[in-house]
Amino acid sequence: SALLIGLTGGIGSGKSTVAGMLAERGAAVIDADAISRATTAPGGAALPAIAQVFGPTLIGADGALDRAAMRQLVFRDASARQRLEAIIHPLVGQETDRQAQQALAAGHPILVFDVPLLVESGARWRGKVDRVWVVDCDPATQIERVMARNQLPREQVEQILAAQSPRAQRLAAADTVLFNGADTTLDTLRQQVQRAAATFGL
Ligand code: ATP
Ligand 1 centroid from CA 169, angstroms? 20
Task: Profile the chain (202 residues) by mean pLDDT over runs of 10 residues.
Answer: 95 97 96 96 94 91 89 91 96 97 96 96 93 97 96 96 94 97 98 94 80
How many Cα atoms within 13 Å fall on the side-chain side of residue 46?
A: 27
1 marked ligand binding residue: no
Please tell me the predicted confidence (pLDDT) of residue 6: 98
With a threshold of 0.95, tell me whether the complex ipTM lies above it.
Answer: yes
128 marked ligand binding residue: no
Please tell me the predicted confidence (pLDDT) of residue 168: 97
Please tell me the predicted confidence (pLDDT) of residue 63: 87
Ligand 1 centroid from CA 21, angstroms? 12
CB 54 within 8 A of CB 80: yes
What's CA 130's distance to the chain center, in Å?
Answer: 16
Which atom of ligand 1 is nearest to 17's Cα? 11
Which atom of ligand 1 is nearest to 149's Cα? 18
Q: Where are the domains of the chain?
A: 1-27+109-202, 35-107
DSSP label at residue 165: P
Q: How far apart are CA 164 and CA 53, in angstroms?
A: 27
122 marked ligand binding residue: no
Residues at CB less than 6 angstroms from ligand 1: 9, 11-17, 116, 145, 149, 180, 184-186, 189
Ligand 1 centroid from CA 127, angstroms? 26
16 marked ligand binding residue: yes
Architecture per CATH, 1-27+109-202: 3-Layer(aba) Sandwich (3.40)
